[in-house]
């Protein structure tokens, strides 16, 4: 993918860049790097295992569902229960939807929403294989933007998302939508990338780093503020810096280009971290929450 300048104020330009980039990934079978050649299926499995997915979970997935686009394991931090209704924001090829479907069982339901038609097509093609492997008919995929979710008010028990919110050019609107679709007492379990300090301007304008969820990342405390403004509480933010270190160690081309543009002596992990985000609508107690906040974690 060619590095181009991106106007951070042009929301539609950002949205189209993301749609085009992820459409290419869906068609070519590429993964975290945005190309077909740099990250094959073995690397996609490495990425998933590095952020907490087990070999057993990965073994149940339809072929091609794991494209190495994860930066965490939201289905694990969600502590999903049988019978729950789960919504996955930016569901891609269906990776987390298919894992969540097995956790909520036949009485539950998992809805994946993605704005890229090629990703929705890929995910829907995988449904038959999922049914054949699990015997479950409890997942569906809807085309739509996460800023305008095609989901009814107060209809979802859990919202999950994996390295997607940073791609949105209107993150406060995404958080408002999360608050709208959650049932009272519903919860979120989101894995995303966040900033520990602002990125250099050149990196923020790279389309490549946007597709990799980096240039669209916001500071950790900005995430907290948007969640609070959306009516969520019991907010727990847990940094996972090991993800960025792993991508650098694997010589991911995107992270190499980012490092080249950092100040002398700086590391990608000085700026970017994987972040687990847990919160609840309405303050209802549950077992998924009670994790340390950022300030507690760093003491």
Q: Is residue 3 part of a domain?
A: no
- Name beta bridge partners: 240: 274
Please report whether residue 111 resides in a domain: yes
* Tens digits of residue pLDDT in 147-181: 999 999 999 999 999 988 988 889 999 999 999 99
122 Cβ contact list (under 8 Å, min separation 6): 26, 64, 92, 93, 94
How do residues 65-76 score in pLDDT, each as one tens digit? Answer: 655 556 778 888
- Please give the tally of structural domains in the chain: 1
Q: DSSP string of 22-53? A: HHHHHHHT--TTSSTTTS-HHHHHHHHHHTT-
pLDDT at 246: 64
| pLDDT tens column, 194-227 | 888 887 766 666 555 545 556 677 889 999 999 9
Rg of the chain over all Cα atoms, to the nearest angstrom: 18
> Does residue 215 sit within a domain?
yes
Q: What CATH number is attached to the domain comprising 197?
A: 3.40.50.150
Mean pLDDT computed over 258-272: 75
* Residue 168 belongs to some domain of the structure: yes
> Which two structure tokens, joined as six digits, stand for 94?
């269906």
**Which range, of 101-115, 122-136, 179-193, 202-216, averages the lowest pLDDT?**
202-216
Stronger pLDDT, 152 or 6, i.e. the higher one: 152
The pLDDT value recorded for residue 46 is 61
Q: The whole model's pTM is what?
A: 0.77
Range of 156's domain? 11-297
Q: Is the dihedral of CA 293, 145, 156, 63 positive or negative?
A: negative
Q: Examine residue 5 and state whether it is found in any structural domain, yes or no.
A: no
Of 36-50, 68-82, 235-249, which gets the smallest average pLDDT? 36-50
4 within some domain = no
Q: Is residue 26 a part of any domain in this protein?
A: yes
Task: Give the closest residue to 210 by CA, choosing from 14, 9, 11, 2.
Answer: 14
Is residue 1 a part of any domain in this protein?
A: no
Q: DSSP E strands: which ranges in 36-165? A: 85-89, 109-114, 139-143, 156-162
């Amino acid at each position: 993918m060619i590095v181009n300048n991106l106007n951070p104020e042009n929301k539609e330009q950002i949205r189209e860049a993301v749609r085009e980039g992820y459409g290419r990934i869906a068609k070519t079978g590429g993964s975290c790097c945005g190309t077909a050649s740099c990250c094959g299926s073995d690397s996609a499995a490495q990425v998933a295992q590095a952020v907490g997915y087990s070999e057993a979970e990965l073994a149940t997935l339809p072929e091609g569902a794991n494209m190495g686009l994860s930066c965490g394991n939201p289905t694990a931090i969600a502590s999903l229960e049988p019978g729950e209704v789960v919504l996955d924001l930016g569901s891609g090829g269906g990776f987390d939807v298919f894992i969540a479907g097995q956790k909520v069982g036949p009485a539950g339901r998992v809805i994946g929403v993605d704005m890229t038609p090629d990703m929705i097509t890929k995910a829907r093609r995988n449904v038959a294989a999922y049914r054949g492997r699990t015997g479950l008919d409890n997942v569906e995929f809807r085309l739509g933007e996460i800023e305008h979710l095609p989901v009814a008010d107060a209809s979802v028990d859990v919202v999950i998302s994996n390295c997607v919110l940073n791609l949105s050019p209107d993150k406060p609107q995404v958080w408002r939508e999360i608050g709208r679709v959650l049932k009272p007492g519903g919860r979120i379990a989101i894995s995303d990338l966040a900033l520990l300090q602002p990125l250099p301007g050149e990196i923020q304008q790279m389309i490549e780093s946007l597709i990799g969820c980096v240039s669209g990342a916001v500071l950790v405390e900005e995430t907290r503020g948007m969640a609070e403004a959306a009516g969520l509480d019991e907010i727990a933010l847990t940094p996972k810096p090991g993800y960025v270190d792993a991508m650098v160690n694997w010589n991911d081309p995107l992270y190499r280009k980012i490092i080249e543009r950092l100040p002398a002596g700086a590391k990608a992990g000085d700026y970017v971290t994987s972040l687990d985000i847990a919160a609840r609508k309405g303050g209802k107690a549950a077992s998924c929450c009670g994790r340390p906040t950022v300030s507690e974690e760093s003491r």
